């Protein structure tokens, strides 16, 4: 959605997965903890990834902040290939870019998976 701030989403939401009874885990990464986010001065941006808890397949991507409408395509591509958390962990991201948020959010999800 082309708004200020930008927001974009693809796939499932937490609410839809709860209604379906699907086990899931969420990972979040904030723009203010990312070098590019700090450079552009977006202290409120957020990337949220939703994975299936059992096999860590990506089920949903939600982004709010600068370039959200650009960032969502990364998650859309991974979902289109039925990808899982490993795609984000083993991908090399340019530095400094907002795309690194995918790796940080994935690490967060993996940490939340055990709780």
In degrees, rounded to 5, the angle at the alpha carbon of residue 85 between the alpha carbons of residues 80 and 86 is 100
Please give the helix or strand (H or E) that residue 61 lies within, else none. Answer: strand 58-64
Distance separating alpha carbons of residues 89 and 6, to the nearest angstrom: 26
- What the chain holds in terms of domains, given with CATH numbers, is 7-113 (3.30.390.30)
pTM metric for this prediction: 0.96
Residues 59-110: tens digit of each pLDDT: 999 999 999 999 999 999 999 999 999 999 999 999 999 999 999 999 999 9
Distance separating alpha carbons of residues 94 and 82, to the nearest angstrom: 23
1-5, 22-26, 71-75, 103-107: range with lowest mean pLDDT: 1-5
Average pLDDT, the chain: 97
pLDDT band at 3 (very low <50, low <70, confident <90, very high): confident
Asked if pLDDT for residue 51 goes beyond 70, the answer is yes
Asked if pLDDT for residue 115 goes beyond 70, the answer is no
Q: What local confidence, expressed as pLDDT, does residue 114 receive?
A: 82
């Amino acid at each position: 959605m082309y708004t200020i701030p930008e927001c974009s989403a693809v796939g499932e939401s937490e609410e839809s997965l709860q209604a379906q009874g699907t086990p899931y885990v969420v990972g979040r990464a904030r723009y203010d903890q990312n070098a590019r986010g700090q450079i552009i001065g977006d202290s409120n941006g957020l990337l949220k990834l939703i994975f299936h808890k059992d096999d860590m397949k990506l089920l949903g991507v939600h982004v709010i902040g600068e370039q959200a409408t650009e960032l969502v395509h990364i998650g859309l591509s991974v979902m289109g290939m039925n990808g899982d958390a490993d795609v984000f962990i083993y991908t090399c991201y340019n530095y400094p870019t907002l795309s690194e948020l995918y790796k940080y959010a994935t690490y967060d999800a993996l940490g939340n998976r055990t709780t």
